[in-house]
């Protein structure tokens, strides 16, 4: 057998990954994936900052699961400090988590259409996504990275006009989603393209411990919202969606992952709808005074392991706080993609080279989240003068970049 080993550049996979495939003709016999291109040293940075600064940093790990990451962090800190989040804030967090899921799933759909070559459908999906982004912008002031999370609650509150706008948004999606679903799911084109590609059978999915939509598309009942409800999820029906309910059977291929994400879009809309009806009143912050919150956090000590079901699956964080400082003593993140990535070589094996991007994308990878889990090897740091950015004429604006 004549095996050709070929490194694929990011244009081959559309992700910042170093993939080396071994090819027999057009078939992939083996694939090796190396991470590390997006390592930004966020965990290290966080150890030098105070908790208030780390929260926005957690938000910026990734643009599309920004709330999940920040909320996981906030929940971990709250657990350690013993802060009880008021009910209204719990509902609001749930609401924003679902809005984030909608925006992320739409983005995934658009990418899938793009990789399948349907630029026109991609634009259609993106134009639908625009509505939820506008909603987020109206509610929080930002379209992504919208800093909703705060220790002990949320930073935003809703008024009646906002709730009405949300209801209008749901009505909009109720109207616009079915035609799109008809094209994507019932139409022959994406089926022809995606079906039978990147099959992940149930047994293998269990063995690899995949999470999130990938696991659910393989027929597993894996959903933290359902199995260990947090925030307000205990109050709603969040039964994990299964492709077999809609399509009769599930194979766990790329097509099923698309169908599942469309089903989850509708599920999120349903959750938001019920949520808006029963949203309790009251405060959105447990500790209103800044000084008191700071004192609470300064006294907190201990560690917590908290996970939240993000749009891509379980996002897990282990947080250790040290006493006497408003600071972390360790922070470990494991994103959903880190788990799902272990199945990539398996998914790629036996497939065609043209499908690499499609398969990797079908698991909705977020490399920015994934590459947070690499231990920094302690190595002697070379002596370096601090980087200075100074304006041309005077040194007045000179500034150290060090955190």
Q: CA 74, CA 294: separation in Å to the nearest integer?
A: 14
When asked if residue 357 is in the footprint of another protein (CB under 8 A), the reply is yes
Using DSSP, state whether 333 is helix, strand or coil: strand
With residue 105 as reference, give the H or E element that holds it: helix 87-115
Instruction: List the one residue from 41, 117, 278, 302 that touches another protein (CB under 8 A).
Output: 117
Q: Which is nearer to another protein, 124 or 275 (CB)?
A: 124
Q: Contact between 150 and another protein (CB under 8 A)?
A: yes
**CB 5 to another protein: min, Å:** 9
Tell me which residue of 388, 257, 375 sits closest to 313, measured CA to CA: 257
Residue 210 and residue 340 in contact, taking contact as beta carbons nearer than 8 Å: yes
For position 157 contacting another protein by CB under 8 A, the verdict is yes
By the rule CB under 8 A, 56 interacts with another protein? yes
> How far from 18 is each of 15, 341, 355, CA to CA, in Å?
9, 13, 16
| Candidate residues 35, 39, 155, 191; the one interacting with another protein per rule CB under 8 A | 155
Task: Tell me: does residue 11 bind another protein (CB under 8 A).
Answer: yes
Classified as helix, coil or strand, 180 is: helix
**Cα-only R_g, the chain:** 22
Helix (H, G, I), strand (E, B) or coil at 85: coil
Q: How far is the CB of 109 from another protein (least distance, A)?
A: 14
Indicate which single residue of 69, 103, 104, 140 sits in contact with another protein (rule: CB under 8 A).
140
Phi–psi pair at 268, nearest 5 degrees: -60, -40
**Closer to another protein by Cβ: residue 383 or 396:** 396
Q: Do residues 329 and 321 make contact, with C-beta atoms less than 8 angstroms apart?
A: yes
Q: Which stretch binds another protein (CB under 8 A): 95-103, 124-132, 225-233, 338-346?
A: 124-132
Distance set, CA 333 to CA 76, 137, 154, 161, 245 (Å): 12, 27, 22, 37, 34
Interatomic CA distance for residues 161 and 276, integer angstroms: 12
What six digits make up the tokens of 176? 């616009």
118 binds another protein (CB under 8 A): yes
In whole angstroms, the minimum distance from the beta carbon of 382 to another protein comes to 23
Q: Is 93 in the site for another protein (CB under 8 A)?
A: no
Residue 298 binds another protein, judged by CB under 8 A: no
Q: Contact between 397 and another protein (CB under 8 A)?
A: yes
Cα-based distances in Å from 113 to 16, 53, 121, 125, 241:
19, 37, 6, 9, 22
Told to check if 81 binds another protein by CB under 8 A, we report: no
Contact between 327 and another protein per CB under 8 A: no
- Positions touching another protein (CB under 8 A) are 4, 6, 11-12, 23, 26, 49-50, 52-57, 59-60, 113, 116-124, 127, 130, 134, 137-142, 145, 147, 150, 155-157, 159, 179-180, 182-183, 186-187, 189-190, 192-193, 284-285, 290, 352-357, 389, 391, 396-397, 399, 401, 403
């Amino acid at each position: 057998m004549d095996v050709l080993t070929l490194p694929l550049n990011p244009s081959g996979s559309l992700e910042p990954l170093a993939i080396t495939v071994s090819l027999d003709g057009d078939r992939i016999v083996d694939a090796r994936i190396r991470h590390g291109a997006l390592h930004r040293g966020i965990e290290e940075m966080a150890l030098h900052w105070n908790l208030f600064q780390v929260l926005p940093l957690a938000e910026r790990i990734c643009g599309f699961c920004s709330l999940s990451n920040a909320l996981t962090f906030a929940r971990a800190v709250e657990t350690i400090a013993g802060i009880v989040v008021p009910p209204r804030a719990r509902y609001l967090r749930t609401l924003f988590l679902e809005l984030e899921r909608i925006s992320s799933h739409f983005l995934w759909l658009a990418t899938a259409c793009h990789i399948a070559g349907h630029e026109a459908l991609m634009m259609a999906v993106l134009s639908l996504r625009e509505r939820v982004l506008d909603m987020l912008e109206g509610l929080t002031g930002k379209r992504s990275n919208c800093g909703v999370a705060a220790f002990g609650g949320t930073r935003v509150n809703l008024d009646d006009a906002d709730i009405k706008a949300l209801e209008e948004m749901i009505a909009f999606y109720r109207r616009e989603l079915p035609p799109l679903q008809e094209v994507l799911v019932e139409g022959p084109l994406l089926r022809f393209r995606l079906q039978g590609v990147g099959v992940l059978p149930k047994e293998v999915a269990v063995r690899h411990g995949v999470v999130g939509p990938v696991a659910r598309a393989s027929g597993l009942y894996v959903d933290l919202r359902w199995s260990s409800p947090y925030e307000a999820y205990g109050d709603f029906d969040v039964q994990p969606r299964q492709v077999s309910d809609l399509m009769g059977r599930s194979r766990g291929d790329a097509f099923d992952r698309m169908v599942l994400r469309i089903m989850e879009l509708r599920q999120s809309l349903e959750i938001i709808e019920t949520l808006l009806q029963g949203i309790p009143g009251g405060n959105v912050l447990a500790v209103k005074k800044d000084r008191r919150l700071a004192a609470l956090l300064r006294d907190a000590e201990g560690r917590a392991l908290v996970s939240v079901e993000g749009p891509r699956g379980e996002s897990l964080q282990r947080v250790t706080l040290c006493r006497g400082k408003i600071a972390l003593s360790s922070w470990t993140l494991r994103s959903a993609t880190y788990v799902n990535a272990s199945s990539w070589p398996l998914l790629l094996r036996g497939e065609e080279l043209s499908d690499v991007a499609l398969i990797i994308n079908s698991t909705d990878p977020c490399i920015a989240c994934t590459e947070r889990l690499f231990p920094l090897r302690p190595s002697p740091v070379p002596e370096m003068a601090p980087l200075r950015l100074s304006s041309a004429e005077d040194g007045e604006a000179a500034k150290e970049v060090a955190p």
